[in-house]
Amino acid sequence: MLLSRIVPNLKRFEIYPSGIHLKTSMSQHDISNIYKFAWAQLNNQLQIIRTTPNFNELLGVQTQLLYLPLTDVIDEFVGSESALQDVLDGKLPHFHIDNVNRGERDGRARYFRFTVTRYNPEQPADGLLLGIEDVTQTGLIEQQLTQERNELRLLQRELFRMNSQLQYIAATDMLTGLANRRHFDEELDRELSRGLRFGRTTALLFIDIDNFKNYNDQFGHLMGDEVLRHLGMVLKKYTRRIDTACRFGGEEFAIILPETSAAGALKIADRLRQRIAVEPIHSVYLNKTPPLVTVSIGVAIAPEHATTPIALVRSADVALYAAKKRGKNQVVVYERAIE
């Protein structure tokens, strides 16, 4: 018979009409090792008709099992009758149930692997052969590996969360919640390169709070921080999703406007200037509503005014300086005449 297909230990059994027996010429090591395995023959009605002597002990049952249905003896096969029938009919070569916990012995859980195949591949009428293997050690290892895999998944999730947080911190000005200078430099280089590659304009706004030093001197630096936070909120509120608003440094801010013409950038800049001038500042440091602030804005366009990030920043800064010289609280678009 081809029963040795299941596990090599089958060669240590001899099969007689009276039952399945261990070979007598076996060492103590062989006998100890073989007791991790047991076998039973099933008839076509899936009833147990023969077993190895160690079958009951390995399975942990003391009752007579002969001619009992398999599903009455091993609950784990309930619902698997169609699969067992497929094995009997030759549609499946074998059927496995792995890592079945059959309760405890000597204070530890016991795990088994059940394998069902044809008793005689050439004679379906001979029924099925059920092999039981004690895989407690393997099961415990699998259980430990599963636990470690779950812990690893949790650690990976936490690492992903922490990396996301670090990326946010690395790219964000924590006072205003806007992008920081580092992120601005990266984004300007990326947008400018993309715009030049596809023949599209990129606008840059430079924004400076008017008379910010006087505001700090009059109300204190904590109130100055409130103003910076307030301006960050307004810029986020009134810029488009495709725009990148950032704190450039100190009281200076910048906004990158992809695919925006000079006329469009001027319109956006003036709307921002007007909104900032009327948005009330909410402060926890003053008992009264603090005075409103105004901003001056310089506008530069690529490729019309510059084709590199450094040159575009310089053009926007020149336009901002011109807005300051012209009386503040206004928008100026860069032109060579104001240099």
**Catalytic residue positions?**
251
CA dihedral 164, 169, 173, 175 (to 10 degrees): 110
Q: Which residues contact 191 (CB under 8 A, 6 or more apart)?
A: 202, 244, 256, 258
In the chain, the amino acid numbered 6 is I
Q: Whole-angstrom Cα distance, residue 210 to residue 78?
A: 80
Residue with tokens 């909410």: 282
Q: Give one DSSP letter per residue of 248-313, joined into a string.
A: EETTEEEEEEET--HHHHHHHHHHHHHHHHHSPPP-SS-SSPPPP--EEEEEEEETTT-SSHHHHH
Q: Which of 284, 293, 282, 289 is nearest to 222 (CA)?
A: 284
Helix (H) or strand (E) holding 141: helix 136-171
Structure tokens at 193: 């390169």
* Backbone φ and ψ of 68, nearest 5°: -85, 145
In the chain, the amino acid numbered 237 is K
C-alpha pair distances (Å), 86 with each of 94, 116, 132: 9, 11, 20
In the chain the beta strands, taken as DSSP E runs, fall at 13-16, 19-22, 37-42, 48-51, 94-105, 108-118, 128-134, 202-209, 244-249, 252-258, 295-302, 331-333
Give the distance from CA 151 to its chain's centroid.
14
Residue 131 β-bridge partners? 39, 115
